[in-house]
Amino acid sequence: MATLLPNPQAELADVPLAQRPRHVAIIMDGNGRWAEQRGLPRIEGHRRGVESVRRVTEESARLGITQLTLYCLSSENWKRPQTELDLLMDLLEQYLVEERTTLIRQQIRVSVIGRREGIPDSVLREMDKTISLSSHHQGLHLCLAINYGGRAEMVDAVRQLARRVQQGSLEPDSIDEQAIHDALYTAGMPDPDLLIRTAGELRLSNFLLWQISYAELWVTERCWPEFREADLHAALRSYASRKRRFGGLPS
């Protein structure tokens, strides 16, 4: 793949930089549904979905978006058939290996949020290697939510704060929103400005429940395997047209 340097003016010239989201989060839904509608195995939808991940990541980097967070595997997805889960893990490992050179060339920094329990050791090794090799990059921050659940994240944050109180390093009355933010998996990351969901579903599915308090929502009927750069542009234009008041009144 060719190196794609950020060029915010190349596309969306009608959307000023100040009106674009800094952090875009995406619930990538509809892989299995897309495959079933075409008489294909569900895993084929996941394979095609990897291509959408590649295209949207490269376009986000080219447009100068600061962070892209993708909901890859929820903690509830472990309820799926074991065969499908095994193939999903294989696809994830393959992605981490095959895309590593491109991620490094484009200076994309990778991080992962979620619990590590249940993820195969081989996947964890490739995950940790990619995170380490890209840790100093200054381009797009690509955050992958793997074995992630918003409620589980809050439980882990509360446990962390409770341990600090028990150890005497934190006073209960000093716990505020910043303290909770710092205990979440996403500590140090900006909250999403725009949340995109594919396949027409109108729910949050336990994704970034704390962080999306003021995110703008954009839903498309397109399933994730057919999501393309033009759809991302449409979401960004919609975002730019909205008035973000954060509970206040427009000036």
- Compute the distance between CA of residue 245 and CA of residue 235 in angstroms, rounded to an integer: 19
Residue bearing tokens 């981490």: 96
Handedness of CA 57, 59, 60, 61 (dihedral sign): positive
Which residues in 175-193 are b (16+ Cβ under 10 Å) and which e?
Answer: beeeebbebbbbeebebbb
Provide the 10 A C-beta neighbour count for residue 51: 14
Angle, to 10 degrees, between the axis of helix 42-62 and the axis of helix 82-98?
Answer: 30
Which residue among the candidates 77, 156, 206, 231 is catalytic per the annotation? Answer: 77
Bridge partners (DSSP) listed for residue 186: none
Distance of CA 218 to the CA centre of its chain: 15
Residue type, 101: T
> Quick one: CA torsion of 177, 75, 108, 224, rounded to 10 degrees?
-110
Report how far apart, in Å, the C-alpha atoms of 5 and of each of 52, 102, 187 are. Answer: 19, 12, 27
Q: Examine the residue annotation and report whether 77 is marked as an active-site residue of this protein.
A: yes
Indicate which residues carry an active-site annotation.
29, 77
